[in-house]
Amino acid sequence: MIDVNFQLKGSAITVVVLAIIRYEPKSLVEELKEKIAQAPQFFVNSPVLINLDKLENPESLKKVADLLTICRELDLQPLGFSGVPEVLLAPVNKTGLAILPTPSERALKLPKQEAPAAETVVERVVETVVETVVETVIEERLVQRQSKVITRPVRSGQQIYAEGADLIVLAQVSEGAEVLADGHIHIYGTLRGRALAGVKGDESARIFCQQMEAELVSVAGNFVLQDSLPKELFKKPVQVSLQGEKVVVDALVSS
């Protein structure tokens, strides 16, 4: 028996990022309803991260609570904000929701190592020259990304995550199942659930499957729902990649 009141654990969950470019409440509601209607089961009670990094008219969003109300009335559950402009920090803080850093903001906060003083560097160089000549050889090596291999079908309700690796599934992915990877995803069977590659922002990641029937496919946070998949490629072998911010689905042609 564990004699503690709680445990802290990391977890991978699918979060819909609502990136608002222009805030106009009426048109926002209409567009969200249209998108939700494409896959209602996916969006029901879905956690949502509201991104304001590209917001063109922040002055129109003084009442942030109204935006949260819009989301909740559409069965979306806001869990926080990212990319909040300075002018909206106060009203966003009043909501009590978290403000998460964007990838670029996270990189800026990494601690920087202080460079040694110039005199110290000179002294070390002189000593090295007097004592011996050191030859430094820099060898470039290709670091291979590891792969996580799943041999059994991924059943409805299951989630498989390949952290820091590619994911290879040697069976089908059922409806309601979810497979995620920091790298590529290879499915040697039918993809009926959701597949999310490059979940930490790798825009070069791809999804390969032998039979495309997915509820949703995503690369580096950009996703496409089943209704938007090319009809001629439905139930066919395909590969999914990212071009700019557009998810592209192409036929997988064997040579």
| Maximum average pLDDT range among 38-47, 104-113, 126-135, 169-178 | 169-178
> For 66, what's the count of Cα atoms within 13 Å in the CB-facing half-sphere?
10
Distances (CA, A) of 69 to 55, 76, 87, 196: 19, 9, 21, 28
Q: Is 187 helix (H, G, I), strand (E, B) or coil?
A: strand
pLDDT at 138: 53
CATH number of the domain bearing residue 76: 3.30.70.260
Mean pLDDT taken over the chain? 83
Same domain, 99 and 30: yes
Encode pLDDT of 117-170 as tens digits: 544 444 444 444 444 445 555 555 555 678 999 999 999 989 999 999 999 999
* Single pTM value for the model: 0.61
**Domain final residue, candidates 78, 106, 134:** 106
- Report residue 103's pLDDT band, with 50, 70 and 90 as the boundaries: low
CATH number of the domain bearing residue 177: 2.160.20.70
Q: Is 181 helix (H, G, I), strand (E, B) or coil?
A: strand
pLDDT at 182: 93
Flag whether 229 is in a domain.
yes
Flag whether 7 is in a domain.
no
Flag whether 77 is in a domain.
yes
Encode pLDDT of 187-234 as tens digits: 999 999 999 999 988 999 999 999 999 999 999 988 888 888 899 999
Per the structure, the complete domain to which residue 60 belongs is given by 16-106
- Report residue 44's pLDDT band, with 50, 70 and 90 as the boundaries: confident
Same domain, 150 and 95: no
Classify residue 210 by burial, with Cβ atoms within 10 Å: 0-12, 13-18, 19+: middle
Count of structural domains within the chain: 2
Flag whether 85 is in a domain.
yes
State the Cα–Cα distance between residues 54 and 85, nearest whole angstrom.
Answer: 9
- Report residue 101's pLDDT band, with 50, 70 and 90 as the boundaries: confident
